[in-house]
């Protein structure tokens, strides 16, 4: 019995020492101390031991069990702390790594250009108003001196909703809405979305934005228009910017003009940016046609006015030297992040 105990004890201690994992340790515990374990079997065999020997043998078994249990616990602690150490080593945080920046929104180039345009005109005493994107034929064409058979109506490929209702092809209808309100004088700009059934390419889109401008007052002349738009161009493109007005035709203004600005890349000498001409066209403008004033309920003998229309995308593309309009609509964050 003694030898048997000694043998069990020694083997158990050796196995404990050799077992490298918690699972292995548990196997040893079950094999030795479990219900059907070796030491348990010895205890069960106590009844066969001579009564005089029993206390001594019992003490020996207890001693062996205690020793094995201690060894088991010790080994268990060792294994656990080793596992923890390994885990810690693997999970180390490298505080010197650059952090991953959270993606934040950016203002769209169109919005930056619009904010700038609004800032300039608000500074000149203009109000910002909005007009409807879904419009009556009357406001988009007729009241702007573009009757049904006018060739200008063909120039703008219109999305019609019904025979009479359409998606506006220009923001100019806002001029009429503002004049119809009957509050004079008027100084307004009206930014907004317009629609034309155009194919998408680097310079066209079926939906883009314009900023309309209108000033109505007594004694307004073409010089007021020129002075105002010259100031606008200088604010937008830099103090050294020169402007040039070329005669043009719009049905709702008379006389009409297109305004060019001196190329802000080459200063007017001619470069790739301005296609060698030194000038860049940026807007249409003119004195509001008496027909338009009359149809909108404004006394054309007492009041005069000027109007202008700017393509917002055109300004954004020019200002940020973007060469393809489609980039403005794709909303690729890698593109937008640059602004």
CB atoms within 10 A of CB 67: 13
**Total number of residues binding ligand DAH (CB under 6 A)?**
11
Q: How many CA atoms lie within 13 A of 229 on its CB side?
A: 30
Residue 12 or 288 having the CB closest to ligand DAH: 288
Residue 317 neighbours by CB under 8 Å, 6+ apart? 109, 323, 325, 328
Tell which one of 13, 167, 285, 293 touches ligand DAH (CB under 6 A).
285
Smallest distance from the beta carbon of 241 to ligand DAH, in angstroms? 20
CB atoms within 10 A of CB 4: 13
Q: Residues 260, 262, 266, CA angle at the centre, nearest 5°?
A: 145
Residue 250 or 303 having the CB closest to ligand DAH: 250
DSSP secondary structure string for all residues of 115-170: HHHHHHHHHTT-EE----SEEEHHHHTGGGT--TT-THHHHS---BSSSSEEE-S-
Q: Which residues pair with 280 in a beta bridge?
A: 261
Work out whether 253 is an interface residue with ligand DAH (CB under 6 A): yes
Please report which helix (H) or strand (E) contains residue 162, including its range.
none
Smallest distance from the beta carbon of 336 to ligand DAH, in angstroms? 27
For residue 190, give both structure tokens: 């009206």
Choices 11-19, 239-247, 284-292, 322-330 (CB under 6 A): range interacting with ligand DAH: 284-292
Smallest distance from the beta carbon of 217 to ligand DAH, in angstroms? 16
Residue 172 or 262 having the CB closest to ligand DAH: 172
Work out whether 308 is an interface residue with ligand DAH (CB under 6 A): yes
Judge whether 174 and 192 are in contact, CB under 8 Å. Answer: yes
Smallest distance from the beta carbon of 170 to ligand DAH, in angstroms? 4
Work out whether 139 is an interface residue with ligand DAH (CB under 6 A): no
Choices 115-123, 124-132, 227-235, 283-291 (CB under 6 A): range interacting with ligand DAH: 283-291
Work out whether 126 is an interface residue with ligand DAH (CB under 6 A): no
Look at residues 140, 156, 120 and name the one whose alpha carbon lies nearest to residue 230. Answer: 120
Tell which one of 172, 190, 228, 262 touches ligand DAH (CB under 6 A).
172
Task: Give the distance from CA 171 to its chain's centroid.
Answer: 27
- Total count of residues recorded for the chain: 339
Contacts with ligand DAH, 211-250, as mask; x by CB under 6 A: -x-------------------------------------x
Work out whether 292 is an interface residue with ligand DAH (CB under 6 A): no
Give residues 176-215 in contact with ligand DAH (rule: CB under 6 A). 212
Cα dihedral sign for 192, 195, 199, 204? negative
**Using CB atoms, what's the residue nearest to ligand DAH?**
309
Q: How many CA atoms lie within 13 A of 140 on its CB side?
A: 25
Choices 35-43, 55-63, 92-100, 279-287 (CB under 6 A): range interacting with ligand DAH: 279-287
Query: How does DSSP classify residue 146?
Result: -
List of residues contacting ligand DAH (CB under 6 A): 170, 172, 212, 250, 253, 284-286, 307-309
């Amino acid at each position: 019995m003694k030898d048997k105990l000694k043998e069990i004890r020694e083997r158990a201690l050796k196995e404990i020492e050799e077992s490298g994992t918690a699972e292995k340790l548990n196997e040893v515990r079950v094999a030795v101390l479990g219900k059907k374990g070796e030491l348990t079997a010895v205890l069960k065999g106590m009844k066969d031991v001579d009564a005089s020997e029993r206390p001594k043998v019992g003490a020996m078994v207890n001693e062996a069990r205690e020793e094995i249990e201690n060894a088991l616990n010790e080994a268990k602690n060792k294994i656990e702390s080793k596992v923890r150490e390994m885990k810690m080593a693997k999970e180390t945080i490298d505080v010197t790594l650059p952090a991953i920046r959270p993606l934040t929104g950016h203002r769209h180039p169109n919005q930056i250009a619009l904010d700038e345009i609004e800032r300039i005109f608000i500074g000149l005493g203009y109000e910002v108003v909005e007009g409807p994107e879904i419009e009556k034929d009357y406001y988009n064409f007729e009241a702007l001196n573009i009757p049904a058979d006018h060739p200008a109506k063909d120039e703008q490929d219109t999305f019609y909703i019904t025979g009479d209702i359409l998606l506006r092809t220009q923001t100019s209808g806002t001029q009429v809405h503002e004049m119809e309100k009957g509050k004079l004088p008027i100084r307004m700009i009206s930014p907004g979305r317009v629609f034309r059934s155009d194919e998408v390419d680097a310079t066209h889109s079926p939906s883009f934005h314009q900023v309309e401008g209108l000033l109505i007052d007594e004694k307004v002349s073409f010089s007021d228009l020129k002075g105002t738009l010259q100031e606008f161009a200088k604010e937008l493109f830099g103090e050294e910017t020169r402007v040039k007005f070329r005669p043009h035709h719009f049905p709702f203004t008379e006389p009409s003009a297109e305004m060019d600005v001196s190329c802000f890349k080459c200063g007017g000498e001619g470069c790739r940016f301005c296609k060698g001409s030194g000038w860049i066209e940026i807007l249409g403008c003119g004195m509001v046609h008496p027909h338009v004033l009359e149809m909108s309920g404004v006394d054309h003998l007492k009041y005069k006015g000027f109007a202008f229309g700017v393509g917002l995308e055109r300004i954004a593309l020019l200002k940020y030297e973007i060469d393809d309009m489609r980039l403005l609509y794709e909303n690729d964050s890698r593109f937008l992040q640059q602004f």
